[in-house]
Amino acid sequence: MPKVWASAFSARRRFSRGLLLCQVLLAILLATWRFSAFAAPKVGEKVIQAVKTDPVLQRGEVLPGKVKTVRDNGLVIQTKNGDGFAHISQLSDRFLGHPAELFDEQDQVTARVLRHENGFLELTLRELGTKKLKDFKVNQELNGTVTAVCGAGANVEIGAEDTAFLHVSCIQDDFLMDARERLQKGDKVKVWVKKIDHKGMKVTMLESQREKKTIAKGLRLARMEEGEMLGGEVTGVKPFGAFVNVGAEQDGLLQASASKQGL
């Protein structure tokens, strides 16, 4: 009889120890789950990681470098900030049939940043414009170079601190679905300033979209400035030009040699 009690007592002790061990393991698992739930991001929550990135280079920043590769459409230029690409249209102010006409691999060059975004470094070997957008006027005629094209339009370098945007609807009179059907990077274009605001400059290739100036009233010749845009109406035509009413005390003279539309 005492042996039976001893066996039962021993089994009870083993059961208690096993139960205690299970409770300890359960507590550990519960604590681990709570910590993971607290540390893990919630659904839709952004995870911020410390990623080392190179600073974004500013437009116009000067970068000494050397020609790494000569391609048919431009140069791969090695700089201290990594490799960049200069399109053939950005290598010279004159027309180039091929970059090899001016450059060889390992040539030392001084480039300027055109665009640096998403890891892509676009360079130019030409002088960048230093004019501010405020230095331009609506309807002003400009010669530019297409620097980028997408379906919605193109960016045009016009000698300013930033490029102007040419919308697809401002490229030709007929309907155009995609600007890439008509333009490509490096094309030379003649444009007119259509709008200037805090978002930048918008231009058009269509002379019909230029803002029409109305004839002002009460203008004084003494207060007019050179380059000022005026609306007018032709009042007389002579072999040497035309007289134009601009709303001042007397008509102005538009010389035939200065007219681009003909008289």
Q: What does pTM read for this prediction?
A: 0.45
Q: How many Cα atoms within 13 Å fall on the side-chain side of residue 99?
A: 24
- Average pLDDT rounded to a whole number, residues 129-142: 80
- Average pLDDT rounded to a whole number, residues 40-62: 60
* Residue 130 near residue 114 (C-beta atoms within 8 A): no
**Could you tell me if 116 and 140 lie in one domain?**
no
- Average pLDDT rounded to a whole number, residues 206-232: 71
- Average pLDDT rounded to a whole number, residues 46-75: 76
111 burial via Cβ count (<10 Å: 0-12, 13-18, 19+): buried
At residue 82, φ and ψ (nearest 5 deg) are 110, 180
Residues with Cβ within 8 Å of residue 263, at least 6 apart in sequence = 234, 237, 241, 242, 254, 256
CB atoms within 10 A of CB 147: 20
Residue 234 lies in domain: 221-258
**Could you tell me if 88 and 117 lie in one domain?**
yes
**Could you tell me if 168 and 192 lie in one domain?**
yes
* Residue 190 near residue 207 (C-beta atoms within 8 A): no
Q: Which H/E stretch holds residue 3?
A: helix 2-39
Tell which of 124, 159, 178 closes a domain.
124
- State yes or no: pLDDT of 38 exceeds 60: no
Number of domains in the chain: 3
Tell which of 170, 189, 209 closes a domain.
209
Res 66: pLDDT: 94
Query: What DSSP designation does 158 have?
Result: -
* Residue 229 near residue 223 (C-beta atoms within 8 A): no
**Could you tell me if 173 and 142 lie in one domain?**
yes
Query: What pairing do the DSSP bridges indicate for beta strands 164-167 and 252-255?
Result: unpaired
- State yes or no: pLDDT of 202 exceeds 60: yes
Does residue 11 lie within any of the structural domains?
Answer: no
Does residue 194 lie within any of the structural domains?
Answer: yes
- Average pLDDT rounded to a whole number, residues 228-252: 78
Does residue 253 lie within any of the structural domains?
Answer: yes
**Could you tell me if 140 and 182 lie in one domain?**
yes
**Could you tell me if 137 and 205 lie in one domain?**
yes
- Average pLDDT rounded to a whole number, residues 23-35: 69
pLDDT tens string 103-125: 999 999 988 888 888 888 999 88
* Residue 97 near residue 74 (C-beta atoms within 8 A): no
**Could you tell me if 148 and 188 lie in one domain?**
yes
Percent of the chain with pLDDT over 70: 74
Q: Give, in degrees to the nearest 5, the angle at Cα 228 between 225 and 229.
A: 155
d(C-alpha 242, C-alpha 260), whole Å: 13
**Average pLDDT value over all residues in the chain:** 78
d(C-alpha 201, C-alpha 162), whole Å: 9
* Residue 98 near residue 104 (C-beta atoms within 8 A): no
- Taking phi over 0 as left and psi of -120 to 50 as alpha, with beta for the rest, 182 belongs to alpha
Does residue 18 lie within any of the structural domains?
Answer: no
Does residue 52 lie within any of the structural domains?
Answer: no
Tell which of 124, 155, 175 closes a domain.
124
**Could you tell me if 156 and 194 lie in one domain?**
yes
Does residue 38 lie within any of the structural domains?
Answer: no
Does residue 97 lie within any of the structural domains?
Answer: yes
- State yes or no: pLDDT of 260 exceeds 60: no
- Average pLDDT rounded to a whole number, residues 71-86: 92
**Could you tell me if 201 and 165 lie in one domain?**
yes
What CATH number is given to the structural domain containing 191? Answer: 2.40.50.140
Give first-to-last CA distance, the chain, whole Å. Answer: 134
Going by C-alpha positions, the residue among 150, 190, 186 that lies closest to residue 168 is 150
- State yes or no: pLDDT of 8 exceeds 80: no
Q: Give, in degrees to the nearest 5, the angle at Cα 129 between 125 and 130.
A: 130
Percent of the chain with pLDDT over 90: 24
Does residue 231 lie within any of the structural domains?
Answer: yes
- State yes or no: pLDDT of 76 exceeds 90: yes
Res 154: pLDDT: 93
**Could you tell me if 205 and 225 lie in one domain?**
no
pLDDT tens string 141-194: 888 889 889 999 999 988 787 789 999 999 998 889 999 999 998 888 999 998
pLDDT tens string 91-101: 887 778 899 98
- State yes or no: pLDDT of 263 exceeds 50: no
**Could you tell me if 139 and 202 lie in one domain?**
yes
Res 252: pLDDT: 77
